[in-house]
Chain A
């Protein structure tokens, strides 16, 4: 079993839809959870960062962490064509390297 599992998609939605992206993980020691966005042929950029359990909101983006279920989510409201990218979840347990999921490729169709 991989430490971090993420459905690679692809996921295609119409403009304005609510998008839900998810990852599961097996290591209960993970404490820091991130979502990175990666446009085609670019490096990943940090989108959201959450420590431990709970929700965090930033504009149209909401990150949720449920440590009891080992499950994290990223919600995108009012999705735009510019949101079309690969979304990578990543996590670590402090002073250790980030462990990434495979990434989910999202297309938002105008």
Chain B
């Protein structure tokens, strides 16, 4: 049983560019959440998708957007990249009816903005 898979694992972009990160949730999970983890910090919630709609959103600007597909996979898009967007981007999945916050994380996509 595959867990949460993310791609790409590493990428380097320059300021002002756009990036798309991809996530496939754990089998049987229909809810996908995205987190940003800066170096030496805990993960910060970006947004959550359920039934192809953004269900909750954290304190991130509109440059951060997402999408969920009918097969529950998800994308995170970041426009007009800033140096401060350099971080590990984590995707986490959970069953939609589970309210306990038990998330299964992927290994992340490490974004470096130069």
Q: Which of A43, A95, A100 contacts B107 (CB 8 A)?
A: A43
- CB contacts (< 8 Å) of B108 on chain A: these are 42-43
Closest chain B CB from A7 CB (angstroms): 12
> A46 near B58 (CB under 8 angstroms)?
no
- CB contacts (< 8 Å) of A45 on chain B: these are 105
Determine if A92 is an interface residue (Cβ-Cβ < 8 Å): yes
> B106 near A43 (CB under 8 angstroms)?
yes
Determine if A96 is an interface residue (Cβ-Cβ < 8 Å): yes
Question: From A103, which residue of chain B is reached at the shortest CB distance?
Answer: B42
In the assembly, what is the distance between CA of A43 and CA of B45, in Å?
Answer: 14
Q: Which of B41, B42, B56, B92 contacts A96 (CB 8 A)?
A: B56
> B40 near A8 (CB under 8 angstroms)?
yes
In the assembly, what is the distance between CA of A60 and CA of B4, in Å?
Answer: 27
- CB contacts (< 8 Å) of A100 on chain B: these are 42-44
Question: From A2, which residue of chain B is reached at the shortest CB distance?
Answer: B42
Determine if A81 is an interface residue (Cβ-Cβ < 8 Å): no
> A97 near B45 (CB under 8 angstroms)?
yes
- CB contacts (< 8 Å) of B92 on chain A: these are 43
21 interchain pairs, CB-CB under 8 A: A4-B42, A32-B100, A34-B101, A41-B107, A42-B108, A43-B106, A43-B107, A49-B100, A51-B100, A88-B42, A90-B42, A90-B101, A92-B101, A97-B33, A97-B48, A100-B42, A101-B42, A102-B40, A102-B41, A103-B41, A103-B42
